[in-house]
Structure 1
Amino acid sequence: MSMLLEVSGVSVTFDGFRAINNLSINFAEAELRAIIGPNGAGKTTFMDIVTGKTRPDEGTVIWGEKNISLLGLSESQIAMEGIGRKFQKPTVFEDQTVRQNLAMALKNPRGPFAVLMHSKTTANAARIESIAEEIGLTQSLTRRAGELSHGQKQWLEIGMLLAQEPRLLLVDEPAAGMTVEEREKTTDILRKAAETRAVVVVEHDMEFVRRLDCKVTVLHEGSVLAEGSLDHVTSNQTVVDVYLGRGHA
């Protein structure tokens, strides 16, 4: 299986605190992965490094079949390479409709002539309908995004990222603040998305992770502590001691 992203020997220190410590972690072309760990384990810093927000002190971050080093690229260049990130708090255009939000996010040619020639093509309309169906918002396309529930806003933001056709999607705690029904729908959306791209989910909710039914990586003090199925990692005594024993289960 070819690797899409290879993080090797990465470390970063903030004011004397080593947030990431010789971290090595790889992701395949199309897979669903959950990353768990106690607060301060390095989960957010890991995403910051991959997306160019934070520069590590050492190590390599290699992307795609051309073996591009992400460490030499800006945040916008990394996004153009096909890495999308969804933060915990949804950021959608609340005054625009769901359809308009998705339309603005569509991956289209960006040159000046492309903008002049661009119109509401049938291809774009079909793509918007397809994404709306995938995220469960077909019935809400004409609604203002600000009227949506918290869970629906999360789905819309995932849809806006999918519209950009990323090869890797980083999702930060999508289950936070959701109802049980919304959480179930969210796992369905993420599992479907991972059929054609890599989807990495940082999450605290163990039931949510269990429903994702995917490979789990446990981070602790900036390094990989354990990796495998949820049952495998949660039966690891060290994982129990540093993470599950602290009331995070």
Structure 2
Amino acid sequence: MSALLEVSGVSVSFDGFRAINNLSFSIGPAELRAVIGPNGAGKTTFMDIVTGKTRPDQGEILWGDRSRSLLKLNEAQIARAGIGRKFQRPTVFEDQSVADNLTLALKANRNPFAVLGWRPSNASEARVVELAAELGLADQIDRKAGELSHGQKQWLEIGMLLAQEPRLLLVDEPAAGMTLAEREQTTALLCRLAQTRAVVVVEHDMDFVRRLNCKVTVLHQGSVLAEGSLDRVTRNPDVIDVYLGR
């Protein structure tokens, strides 16, 4: 099976500091992957590069069935190509309802005239209801987003990304600040999403990573230190030395 995303030999430096060092990483079209590593390992910079926020000094990033270069696209074009990113802190429209947040995020023509004349259709309303149910927010659909719990806001933001129909989701520390019940529901949601798209979860919480039960990539000093199951990588002497032993 060919990779959906292929990062090959990518490096980037900031003021002489090499944040990403000859990084190679690939993920399949329907796969869940956890990315772990110590602070400064390059996890955030890796996501910045994939989403077009940061340009690498060297290397290539190929995307999709036709292996097109992401380096030729800007951030908006990369998002439209099917890569969605969720940051650690949820950013939702707090004064708007759950339904309105999801409606605003639906994939649609963003031409200014099309936006001015846009009205919800039966199909768009049905999609919003479907998304809310998928997120476990069906009974919250008319509530203002600002009234939701921290975990529910995280799910809503994931739903806003899903409304764009991405093929790859990059999710940064989704379990942070969640209750145990919310963490369990988040695990189930991410595992379910990865059945139909690629999901990359950057996480520090080893218990949460274990719950995901997926392949793990360990980054250190901007490159891949180890890869495999969580049990395999946590037995790796190098991983123990640079990450787990601290």
TM-score exceeds 0.5: yes
Helix, strand or coil: the match of 1:225? strand
Name 2:156's counterpart in structure 1.
Answer: 156
The Cα of 1:114 is off from its aligned counterpart by 4.6
Deviations 1:100-122 (A, max 9, x none): 00000011233466546643222
Deviates more, 1:21-30 or 1:109-118: 109-118
Aligned counterparts of 2:216 and 2:57: Cα–Cα separation in 1:
26
Give yes or no for the alignment of 1:36 onto 2:40.
no
1:177-196 to 2 correspondences below 5 Å: 177-196=177-196
The Cα of 1:71 is off from its aligned counterpart by 1.1
Deviations 1:7-27 (A, max 9, x none): 000011111111101000001
The amino acid of 1:148's aligned partner reads L
Name 2:203's counterpart in structure 1.
Answer: 203
Name 1:173's counterpart in structure 2.
Answer: 173
Deviations 1:25-49 (A, max 9, x none): 0011110000000000000000000
Name 2:85's counterpart in structure 1.
Answer: 85
Helix, strand or coil: the match of 1:233? helix
Helix, strand or coil: the match of 1:243? helix
Aligned counterparts of 2:118 and 2:44: Cα–Cα separation in 1:
37
The amino acid of 1:95's aligned partner reads D
Name 1:227's counterpart in structure 2.
Answer: 227
Helix, strand or coil: the match of 1:91? coil
Name 2:50's counterpart in structure 1.
Answer: 50
Aligned counterparts of 2:187 and 2:234: Cα–Cα separation in 1:
20
Aligned counterparts of 2:198 and 2:63: Cα–Cα separation in 1:
12
Deviations 1:29-81 (A, max 9, x none): 11000000000000000000000111111000111112211112111111111
The amino acid of 1:189's aligned partner reads L
Name 2:242's counterpart in structure 1.
Answer: 242
Helix, strand or coil: the match of 1:62? strand
Name 1:17's counterpart in structure 2.
Answer: 17
Deviations 1:126-158 (A, max 9, x none): 111111111110010000000011111000000
Aligned CA RMSD, in angstroms, stands at 1.2
TM-score, normalised to structure 1, is 0.96
Give yes or no for the alignment of 1:65 onto 2:59.
no
Aligned counterparts of 1:93 and 1:113: Cα–Cα separation in 2:
23
Helix, strand or coil: the match of 2:245? helix
Aligned length: 246
Name 1:145's counterpart in structure 2.
Answer: 145
Deviations 1:146-183 (A, max 9, x none): 00111110000000000110011000011111111111
Helix, strand or coil: the match of 1:184? helix
Helix, strand or coil: the match of 1:142? coil
Aligned identity (percent) is 73
Deviates more, 1:163-172 or 1:115-124: 115-124
TM-score, normalised to structure 2, is 0.97
Please, which runs of 5 or more residues in structure 2 have no aligned partner? Answer: none
Aligned counterparts of 1:13 and 1:109: Cα–Cα separation in 2:
37
The amino acid of 2:65's aligned partner reads E
The Cα of 1:123 is off from its aligned counterpart by 1.2
The amino acid of 1:185's aligned partner reads Q
Aligned counterparts of 2:203 and 2:78: Cα–Cα separation in 1:
23
